[in-house]
Structure 1
Amino acid sequence: MIIRSYAKADADMLLNLFQQTIKTVNREHYSTEQLDIWSGQAGWINRLEHNVTLVATIQSYIVGFITMKEDGLIDLLYTHKNFQRQGIASALLKAVEARAYTLGLTALQTEASITAEPFFEAQGFRIVKKQQKKVQELAFTNYYMTKSLI
């Protein structure tokens, strides 16, 4: 596996990975209506281009990606639906943590889905609060979590 910086040419593949992962991996915890809204969020490609974005590839095939805002918020972390539980998300998180250290950050935060919360907890994140986020007037349960880097 190779982890590299995002390139604009990755956008379509990341969009497909993003949508397919949400609609398959998260369906145990969210309704079909929630999944449709979540996977159709407008403007998310802007999030790729204006944050630290790293992409994981296996034999040039994109299998995951992560984004981190300059304040240390892990905004997006997705692994291809066919490559779950193979260490890809862990490797992406380690790579972004290394980048956070070089930026002088002392902590990371995320708003983890119900599905992703156990992963982040296993990676040393702690729940600060359970929250309800509204997207298009539909409530989504997630967890605001933090991890100290010092």
Structure 2
Amino acid sequence: MRVVVQRCKDASVTVDGTVTGAIGEGLMLLVGVTHEDTEKDAKYLADKVAGLRIFEDDAGKMNFSVTDAGGAILSVSQFTLYGDCRKGRRPNFMAAAAPAEAERLYDYFNQELRRGGLQVETGIFGAMMDVSLTNWGPVTLLLDSRG
């Protein structure tokens, strides 16, 4: 499982002209699932995201997690995180999990974040989405449950 984490001042996702999720300060997440992923991968990454100390304290040091900072999460499914561009010019998405399993694990990942007390907004799984954010820093990290 892969998650692109972006610290943001604000973020939103729109589907067919309707905002389906929006947050102020917090984390915008792009979440991808592959064939081998399990609930263990989703829980590991949810715990990692919730605990990442990437928000600044009063001294300007990155010492606070999104939970400590009182931020929210915007989580967007992103199967293209498993795009393979090594051959040719068109990405191959064979490593992305089948939609039903990807949606199940994506939902589980979001549930785990909510269980930790975080506000989690989302897009619509499988929909064409317009994602907007103000990346703060910028701070962008790539997490992978496989190392």
Return the TM-score normalized by structure 2: 0.26
Structure of greater relative contact order (alpha carbons < 8 Å, 6+ residues apart): 2
**Higher-helix-fraction structure:** 1
